[in-house]
Structure 1
């Protein structure tokens, strides 16, 4: 009988800040739970995948978080917010808003993996138009895009859903969008396909800020 322990895959990153970085302390705690032949998978969404013992999941996550690592489930969940590097400064490019969005939505269960992205200016380094939900800060307000698709012959930019939102309006609109997808999306239906099926005008009407 095999005594191989059950493993679970976990996504981790260093949180939202000036670039996607990990400290030596964070790398050391990750290495603590790896064998010499194990590998870390680096995703395009600023995350690392690591496999840990399922029966020690809570304990290990607690240790990771004590070093400042953020931990997320892998699978049909909202992924952590992909961001730009905030090259013009935290306040000017809305880092507090990005952190709040990530806190509110990452890890929420959805019909299929949902990728949100944020950029602090119209240059668009965070590629918000090429992801499922995209947020772009324009001067002092935020524009919200939906339905972007980065891969395949049918790749396309997202559609502007709402513009000139303040942070509270933005949070409310994103929360409502995800709730609509949770309630009406088909199992394993990608968000860009859901947007086309459900209809951009229906989404716009149901997320309207009063």
Structure 2
């Protein structure tokens, strides 16, 4: 094998389910595409980073998907949805909504890495208030927070943008907000800085009007 052949980094996880878990089959298929000396990088966002040969990327993605793994691009994209463990159950804590939201936004190109998070109850195990976009299920609705920051001396919780959204309303607002950021954000401008520069009220004025 030519060690100088270009390698591509992929972000991998077990998808959105009960906890951030991998089974034996998934671990085995990941190991199959690693060579001696390779290391897996475990990120804080429930992903593993693995480097594979560029010529094998599509094959690797196919094999990973067959094993139930999800693959995402690495870099300035919307990350896969960080979630809670859905400890009270899939339906009660809205797992289908989390899965659908992730499907719609993960991997979208943006000016700077954007981290969304979801939690199915007010306990907030998915840490939605300290990520760029946070969703918290409260009763039968979904509260949307934006602009959280988990690291640094300027760390802060996000701002409550909208309350008690229905699933389709949530998808529409989040997709539109990411589109605005993708179009109006400056290169390598973090989302919380974009909100500060662009203006929260200005951003809200461009989002869909939600009728209660």
TM interval, short-chain normalised? over 0.9
Q: CA contact under 8 A between 1:162 and 1:204: conserved in structure 2?
A: no
Give the superposition deviation at 1:200.
1.0
Whole-Å separation in 2 of the counterparts to 1:203 and 1:4: 46
State the alpha-carbon separation in 2 of the partners of residues 120 and 3 from structure 1.
45
Q: Secondary structure at the match of 1:85?
A: coil
Name 2:9's counterpart in structure 1. Answer: 9
* Runs of 4+ more than 3 Å apart: none
Gaps of 5+ in 1: none
Residue matched to 1:65: 65
Deviations 1:17-65 (A, max 9, x none): 0000001000000001112321100000000000000111111110111
Aligned residue for 2:84, secondary structure, equals coil
> How does the TM-score come out when normalised to structure 1?
0.97
TM-score (norm 2): 0.97
- Tell me if the contact between 2:81 and 2:117 (Cα under 8 Å) persists in the aligned partners: yes
SS in 1 for 2:50: strand
Q: Secondary structure at the match of 2:9?
A: strand
Q: Separation in 2 of the partners of 1:95 and 1:44? A: 21
64-73 or 2-11, larger mean C-alpha shift: 2-11
Tell me which residue corresponds to 1:97.
97
Q: How many residues align?
A: 209
Residues 79-114 of structure 1 deviation map (CA, whole Å, 9 limit, x = unaligned): 000000001110000000000000000000000000
RMSD (Å) for aligned C-alpha atoms: 1.0
| Bigger mean CA deviation after superposition, 199-208 or 24-33 | 199-208
Contact 1:46 1:82 in 2 (8 A): yes
Distance in 1, matches of 2:145 and 2:3, equals: 49
Question: How far off its partner does 1:149 sit?
Answer: 0.2
Corresponding residue for 1:122?
Answer: 122
Residue 209 of structure 1: how far off its partner (Å): 2.5
- How far is the alpha carbon of 1:118 from its aligned partner? 0.2
Query: Which residue of structure 2 lines up, in the alignment, with residue 166 of structure 1?
Result: 166
Q: SS of the residue aligned with 1:98?
A: helix
The range that moved more, 166-175 or 199-208, is 199-208
Unaligned runs of 5+ in 2: none
Structure 1 position 193 matched with structure 2 position 193:
yes
Q: How many angstroms apart in 1 are the aligned matches of 2:163 and 2:203?
A: 14
Structure 2 CA distance for aligned equivalents of residues 204 and 139 of structure 1: 24
How do residues 1-210 of structure 1 correspond to structure 2 at under 5 angstroms? 4-210=4-210
Q: Distance in 1 between matches of 2:60 and 2:48?
A: 15
Secondary structure (helix, strand or coil) at the match of 1:174 reads helix
Say which is worse superposed, 27-36 or 79-88, in terms of deviation.
Answer: 27-36
Q: Report if aligned partners of 1:169, 1:209 keep a CA contact under 8 Å in 2.
A: no
For 1:3 and 1:151, how far apart are their aligned partners in 2?
Answer: 36
